[in-house]
Copies of this chain bind each other. A is one copy, B any other.
Amino acid sequence: MSLLVVGSLGLDTVSTPFDKVKEALGGSATYISLAASYFSGPINLVGIVGSDFPKEYIRLMEEHNINLEGLQVIEGGKTFRWAAKYHYDLNVRDTLLTELNVFESFNPIIPERFRKSKYICLGNIDPILQMRVLDQMDDSHFVVCDTMNYWIEGMKDDLLKLLKKVNVLIINDSEARLLAHEPNLIKSARAIRKMGPEILIIKKGEHGALLFTDDVVFSAPAYPLEMINDPTGAGDSFAGGFVGYLHRTQDVSPESLRCAVIYGSTMASFCVEKFSTKGLEELSYLRIQDRFREFMNLSRFNEKE
């Protein structure tokens, strides 16, 4: 019973008003796997890098019990690179560079041993590739899928085909409105769930997240951080914490999904405290549970009478 993660791996150059990093570890599969690794192992990763991908990053992932059997390393190829600059208002960023490199010809091949994975997390990549992953899998799996406005706008038909095969879709609020063509989030959620995913999570950044299951809404708070150093990877870390918890408990009941959303929020809060994947590298399950309990305290209320 293992967890399969498919997505990008890359080298990120990121600057904020506070600091900057050059060619640091990045990519959706990276953040998802690291975040999930604290909940259960091993994580089976499928992705692609060039031979310039630093050995220390390989070591880091292996130390986190991430199985790299499915990582394609292209000899002489260049790893995916991305550069961005965040503004003083960290919700605003300029993408300065997107170099697909080896990622351009990525064809996810799922190793035989990975095909029975019960939980699958599809990081934010081309929906055609996401579908190709599902086509290789044995039946009866639980699929958590991320996507973004780029695919909603440019590859809607493929995305809609994929959504029929997905159990949980995780998107942010503007993407939900875009996908449903509807400004009201609650109505958007209803429309999107009709497209396939019985479970929908809408992330709202500093405003928390909403979980939609059968006519029930769960509203998760955001962790009140005074210092956000680098928002990169927050959404992927959320997905990793979410699917990692479900994989750990093997429980996808509504109650468990609520907790999984809080664990997702917890991992996102750790992620943004430091640059690149630094905030996810030296955690422990105990520290994660402490923050989970802080989330409880953040949102509980009880009337005396």
Which residue of the partner chain, among B184, B207, B217, contacts A208 with CB atoms under 8 Å? B207
- A210–B224 Cα distance when bound, in Å, is 10
Which residue of the partner chain, among B187, B218, B249, contacts A226 with CB atoms under 8 Å? B187
- A110–B155 Cα distance when bound, in Å, is 64
Collect the chain B residues with CB atoms within 8 Å of residue A258's CB. 300-302
Interface bin, chain A: 35 or more
A89 within 8 A of B: yes
Collect the chain B residues with CB atoms within 8 Å of residue A298's CB. 217-219
State the number of copies, please: 2
A119 within 8 A of B: no
- A115–B140 Cα distance when bound, in Å, is 70
- A299–B249 Cα distance when bound, in Å, is 21
A255 within 8 A of B: yes
Residue of B nearest to A183 (CB): B89
Which residue of the partner chain, among B184, B207, B303, contacts A207 with CB atoms under 8 Å? B207
Is A226 touching B186 in the complex (CB atoms < 8 A)? yes
Q: With contacts A218-B299, A255-B302, A292-B303 known, what are 18 further pairs, Cβ within 8 A?
A: A88-B183, A89-B183, A184-B228, A187-B226, A190-B226, A204-B207, A208-B221, A217-B224, A217-B298, A218-B301, A219-B224, A220-B301, A221-B221, A249-B304, A255-B301, A259-B301, A259-B302, A300-B300
Is B219 touching A221 in the complex (CB atoms < 8 A)? yes
- A296–B226 Cα distance when bound, in Å, is 27
A225 within 8 A of B: yes
A137 within 8 A of B: no
A206 within 8 A of B: yes
Q: Considering residues A88, A218, A224, which has the most beta carbons from chain B within 10 angstroms of its beta carbon? A: A224
- A277–B122 Cα distance when bound, in Å, is 47
Shortest distance between the CB of A293 and any CB in chain B (Å) = 9
- A219–B300 Cα distance when bound, in Å, is 8
- A239–B297 Cα distance when bound, in Å, is 23
Q: Which residues of A (198-245) have their CB < 8 Å from a CB of B?
A: 204, 206-208, 210, 216-222, 224-228
A262 within 8 A of B: yes
- A296–B219 Cα distance when bound, in Å, is 10
Shortest distance between the CB of A131 and any CB in chain B (Å) = 31
A185 within 8 A of B: yes
Shortest distance between the CB of A26 and any CB in chain B (Å) = 24
Is B224 touching A222 in the complex (CB atoms < 8 A)? no
Is A259 touching B303 in the complex (CB atoms < 8 A)? yes
Residue of B nearest to A210 (CB): B224
Shortest distance between the CB of A140 and any CB in chain B (Å) = 24
Is A224 touching B301 in the complex (CB atoms < 8 A)? no
Digitize A69-91: 1 where CB-to-B-CB distance is under 8 Å, 0 elsewhere.
00000000000000000001110
